[in-house]
Amino acid sequence: MAKEFNPDYPSMDDLRNKAMLRIPRFAFEYLDGGCNEDVSVVRNTAEIREVQLQPRYLRNKGISSTKTTVMGMEFDAPFGIAPVGLQGLMWPNSPEILAKAAHKNKIPFILSTVTTMHIERASELTEGNAWFQLYNPAEDSLRDDILNRAEAAQCPVLVLLCDVPTFGYRPRDIRNGLALPPKMSITNILQIMGKPTWAFNTLKYGQPTFETLKPYTPEGLNLKQLGQFMDKTFSGRLNEERIKPIRDKWKGKLVLKGVASEQDAQDAIRLGFDGIIVSNHGGRQLDAAQSTISSLPGIAAKYGDQIEVMMDSGLRSGPDIARAMSSGAKFTFMGRSFLYGCGALGNKGGDHTISMLKTQFKQVMDQLCCERVEDLPKHLIPNESK
Ligand SMILES: Cc1cc2nc3c(=O)[nH]c(=O)nc-3n(C[C@H](O)[C@H](O)[C@H](O)COP(=O)(O)O)c2cc1C
């Protein structure tokens, strides 16, 4: 086991349970929840776990390598840290913890436009290796300013998000009056008082704010104002006209995140994207959505030779990553998992979560008798054979 691995937390459930004890409820519910009745968030993981893989035992095998290449870069494992907004609200300083851990462990870290660390700091911590996720800015000047900053910060990959034409309908966040900085209602104060490590660290690192957007954002927005600000600043719905200037200006790799249909995958190829992330935003946008593990195989089979097909939503373990890779993903991402890690283990949460997932994933490769991650699809048991 790697020295970063903490044997008290060998599974994602262990990390999630511990994180729940250490994060104030309003922030934990923002992290953990899906939307509406949580159907999609539950379905994502449940359907991933329907995927079965076939082991081979009576065969010699060399050492399994978890390394793989995506977007022209080699990584030590086939998973990365998905962009998550407001990270510092869920665990103080978590974007720094995760960017450092990703860089140290040679996996990608994607910085969200609306998280609590700015592009320049992400770049500094990762020596120019952080990917940047962009919401679609309504104003061309804002778009160009952010793109210039991402380019100056040497971000190798720009990830354009397409699945937020509207803000997700999340009853818990509405009830909790989710805000940045946290709204000081009596309920929220009581929740914070019950989580002293979180409260102490928030004092230590300061109130979380939208760092990348600081030059453009008014302060102290509640959920309603945040929605209005986001609506005004980012015109949610993407289309060809809005994508073209981004593709023309951005010289690095361009990825479309939130693809859930073959038609959108086909458009992404036509519009010059280098990759897509098949994603339903972790079940946080459309509660009636198809799980990503069910939309992935068709998209990968049809377009996997024309565009790099990655996937997220619902993965929580090494076997889950292997299931997704076997089903056609060239690479995977996780959002909540790494924040559970930070919530549970603070500064050590990033390294531990990566180490745990890698250990679990490698164990699956050894069981399957798989030396290279690219060979995983050979082990998929087709539905008709189950
Ligand atoms: C609390 C939270 C905030 C998120 N914020 C963003 C965001 O700002 N930008 C984005 O592209 N995706 C965002 N996502 C979606 C993630 O990038 C990713 O698609 C999702 O978390 C994957 O599902 P998983 O959490 O089951 O791994 C967010 C997800 C969560 C849980």
**264 Cβ contact list (under 8 Å, min separation 6):** 162, 256, 276
Determine the CATH number of domain 12-379: 3.20.20.70
**57 Cβ contact list (under 8 Å, min separation 6):** 369
Instruction: Give the Å distance between the CA of 85 and the centre of ligand 1.
Output: 7
Residue 188 or residue 27, greater confidence = 27
Best of 136, 284, 295, 338 to mutate for ligand 1, by most ligand atoms within 8 A of CB? Answer: 284
Model pLDDT, residue 182? 62
Instruction: Give the Å distance between the CA of 81 and the centre of ligand 1.
Output: 10
> What is the Cα–Cα distance from 51 to 184, expressed in whole angstroms?
45
Ligand 1 atom nearest 281 alpha carbon: 19
Q: If pLDDT is split at 50, 70 and 90, which confidence band does 185 have?
A: confident
Contact between 48 and 353 under an 8 Å Cβ cutoff? The reply is no
Best of 281, 293, 295, 333 to mutate for ligand 1, by most ligand atoms within 8 A of CB? Answer: 281
pLDDT tens string 304-326: 999 999 999 999 999 999 999 99
Ligand 1 atom nearest 163 alpha carbon: 11
Asked if pLDDT for residue 184 goes beyond 80, the answer is no
Instruction: Give the Å distance between the CA of 83 and the centre of ligand 1.
Output: 6
Ligand 1 neighbourhood includes 33 CB (under 6 angstroms): no
352 in catalytic set = no
Task: Return the residue whose CA atom lies nearest to atom 4 of ligand 1.
Answer: 84
Asked if pLDDT for residue 368 goes beyond 80, the answer is yes
Instruction: Give the Å distance between the CA of 283 and the centre of ligand 1.
Output: 9
Which of 203-212, 242-251, 286-295, 319-328 has the least mean pLDDT?
203-212
Ligand 1 atom nearest 86 alpha carbon: 3
| DSSP bridge partners of 276 | 256, 309
End-to-end CA distance of the chain: give it in Å, rounded. Answer: 34
Ligand 1 atom nearest 31 alpha carbon: 1
Asked if pLDDT for residue 188 goes beyond 90, the answer is no
Task: Give the chain's length.
Answer: 386
Average pLDDT, the chain: 94
| DSSP bridge partners of 278 | 259, 311
DSSP, collapsed to helix, strand or coil, labels residue 294 as helix
Enumerate the domain spans of the chain: 12-379
Residue 2 main-chain phi, psi, to 5 deg: -65, 155
Kindly report whether the global pTM for this prediction surpasses the value 0.75: yes
- Rounded to whole angstroms, what are the CA distances from 249 to 134, 139, 140, 161, 246? 14, 15, 12, 17, 5
Mean pLDDT of the region 36-63: 96
Asked if pLDDT for residue 83 goes beyond 90, the answer is yes
Contact between 328 and 378 under an 8 Å Cβ cutoff? The reply is no
Mean pLDDT of the region 58-84: 96
> What is the Cα–Cα distance from 39 to 91, expressed in whole angstroms?
26
| DSSP bridge partners of 254 | 158
Say which of 118, 281, 352, 379 is annotated catalytic: 281
Asked if pLDDT for residue 105 goes beyond 90, the answer is yes
Task: Return the residue whose CA atom lies nearest to atom 13 of ligand 1.
Answer: 84
Model pLDDT, residue 224? 64
Q: If pLDDT is split at 50, 70 and 90, which confidence band does 274 have?
A: very high
Asked if pLDDT for residue 180 goes beyond 70, the answer is no
Model pLDDT, residue 237? 87
| Host H or E run for residue 314 | none
Model pLDDT, residue 176? 87
Angle at CA of residue 119, ends 113 and 179, nearest 5°: 40
Ligand 1 neighbourhood includes 280 CB (under 6 angstroms): no
Asked if pLDDT for residue 154 goes beyond 80, the answer is yes
